[in-house]
Structure formats: structure tokens, C-alpha cells
Amino acid sequence: MALSLIAEIMGWADDSQSEATREYAWLRLMSTVKYDSYSDFRAGIRFVESLATWLKQFEPEDREVAFRFIRERLVYISVAEMQCLIEAFVPEILTPNLRQIVGQDLGIPAYDVWATKKGAETFRKRLRKTLFVGMSDGSRIDVLRRANSGRLSQEQVVPILNVDFDKWRDLAENLEGDQGMQPGEKFDSVYLIDDFTASGTTFIRNVGGKWKGKLKKFNDIIVNAKNELKEQFPIVDNFDLHIHHYISSAQAKKNLNDRLKAAEAWEQRTYGSWAISEGLLLPTTLPVSPATDGAMINLCTKYYDNQLFERLRKHCEENGQTTMAFGYADCALPIVLEHNTPNNSIPLLWADTDGKGGAHPMRSLFHRRDRHG
């Protein structure tokens, strides 16, 4: 019934040789393989039903542009794809980096680290002295733990950013008591892990000369814990900081690099060296642009409700934005993650508004759960 409704909305003829027949096959395939798994869909209202409602909000002459955008430009990260990115983190990002460090420590090539008992033991200790901190519920620390059972200790993984003093003491006690460790042993590397970054703004930004964001918050937590716990604090001074996102845009990676260089001037910076990594780097050509997506750009402005800007006025103005027509930080991404849709994606995908003051009431295709207001 929903497919027939889409055919009616799109003005497709319903016969065996028609466009509707060809598109039905694509809609059935993609719904089954990907889109129906979106976490905010409910029984009876999944992708095809949501698509019908979404398309209906556009005037008839605009519906083909909207449908083609979904057909050809939408990037959907499924549960299985996110699982792959999480599982790949330790073998493809962490392990090569640690082997390189251990190889330098021992004066041997990285590929020889596991060839000797000493190399293998040094690698094991270095891995145990690496702390992993989840920066949000999107970091999927539970999945990371299960994927690395027997490789990572439960006592070197922290699922939340706000670590209290008792937890720091537990981390210290468990590290010192682990096999081959000595009293006073401390973590020398920290990985801050999150699922997605599109602008880098949430992680670190400077507003009116004042630093904000998750990294600043983490640095402040470290400063307070060191002042309180003294020698009981389990991380060395000037530890190696690693920032890892399962998915990152090219824009975010550049911004993070630039801002971390600027933040090296922090008076109370607790970390020494820093590095940025990601499981999947989105290409610079991914954002919707006038050069390649002119018709869709027009729809983004034509059907935009400025309530979106008013909801996030403070954050938008801090970021120099005057509209949310192309998403937060003007990222204009056509991306949906299986557990939520980023507000950096174009709002036509995720916005729901009631159209006050004569504005167009926007209807989402993938309902978004707000985490930032």
C-alpha cells in the first residue's frame, strides 16, 4: 500500500513496464538491507511509509528532485557498517601505532615486535597502559569491549567522560595489580573515542577567547583529579593523547588539527603529543553543493523553517551562522547514521517543525533525537 502511495505522490504510472515497477525493486531492496533498521522507525511506519509522508510535503514539481536525492546522494551508515568500524579500531588503528612505538623503544622494526618474547611482552604492557574513554553514548563502548574481549581489560575502558575520584583510584589499583606491572605504574596513552564528527566544533572550539568543548572538559577533569589524588592519579604527566572518531568529515579533521595546534598554548594542558584518527574519512566532495546539487540546494532554502535556527541560536551564533538551512556549521551533509541523524546533515532529512508564522512545516524522513538542544 505504501509503495502505491509513493507512486501516486510521484505521479508514476502503475504497470509492469513503468518507472514505478523499477523503483519498487530499489525501494524494497534498500528498505530491507538498510533503511528499515533506522532506530527511530516504528512498526508500521518504517522507511517506505516515512518516505511517502516526506515526499508529500513537497510541491509536485519538486518531488522528483527530492526522490533522486535520496536515490543517488544519501549516505546511510547501517548497523553492520558501524559494527565494522568499531571492530576495525583496535587491529587497524591502535595496534599498528603501538607496534611502531614499541619498535622505537626497543630499537627494532615494527614488524619484528612480535618476533621475540621481550617484544611481545613490551607490547602487552604498553597496550595495558593505554586508557580508552567514551565521549558519548555514540562511542559504543559496550560494542568495543565485546569486540576486544581478551585483548583489552575491562579496567582500561571508561564508558563516560565524567570520571569521578573513586573510579580514578580503581583504575590505578587495577593497573598496578595487573600481570607484570609495578607499584606506581600509570597509563601513558589515552584514546578519546566518539562515533562521528562533522565540524569538530563539539570537540573543541574557541568562543570569544574562551575554550569550550569535550576536550576542554576532559582536560579540566584531569587537572581536578590530579590536584585531588596526587600520586594516586593513574595517568602520567604529558600523556600521549589520541582522538579517534569512527566516522569523520574532511572538514572536521582539518578543524580539529587547526584547533589542537592552537590549544597547545593552554596553560594547564595535561597531555603532551596528540594525534587524530578515524575509521572512515568522508570525502571533501560529499557535502551538498551548488555545483553538483543546485536543485536540492533550492529545496533546502524553499522548505526551510527558521525555527531550527531559533532553537539553536546560541550555538549557531557562536559558530558564525545565520541560518540552519544546511545544518549545523553549514556542513550540508547527506548522511544518516543508523542510530541518529546528525544535525550537520541537511535539515530536510531530519527536521520536524510546526510551521509557525507561515513557515513551511518541515517533515523528517529520518527523525532526529536531539543531543545538543
Q: Give the pLDDT confidence of 315-340 residue by residue, as tens digits.
A: 888 888 999 999 999 999 999 999 99
Cell numbers for 243: 582522538
Residue 371 pLDDT > 80: no
- pLDDT of the residue at 373: 41
Q: Please tell me the distance from the alpha carbon of residue 212 to that of residue 203, in angstroms, as a whole number.
A: 8
Helix (H, G, I), strand (E, B) or coil at 334: coil
pLDDT grade for 111, boundaries at 50, 70 and 90: very high
Cell numbers for 34: 538498510
pLDDT grade for 12, boundaries at 50, 70 and 90: confident
Q: Please tell me the distance from the alpha carbon of residue 58 to that of residue 61, in angstroms, as a whole number.
A: 8
Q: What is the mean pLDDT of residues 36-46?
A: 88
Q: Please tell me the distance from the alpha carbon of residue 64 to that of residue 271, in angstroms, as a whole number.
A: 52
N-terminal to C-terminal alpha carbon distance within the chain? 36
Contact 334/69 with Cβ under 8 angstroms?
A: yes
- pLDDT of the residue at 14: 67
Percent of all residues in the chain with a pLDDT value above 90, rounded to a whole number:
85
Contact 83/143 with Cβ under 8 angstroms?
A: yes
- pLDDT of the residue at 337: 95
Helix (H, G, I), strand (E, B) or coil at 247: strand
Q: Please tell me the distance from the alpha carbon of residue 220 to that of residue 318, in angstroms, as a whole number.
A: 21
- The angle formed by the CA atoms of residues 33, 34 and 40, to the nearest 5 degrees, is 135
Contact 342/201 with Cβ under 8 angstroms?
A: no
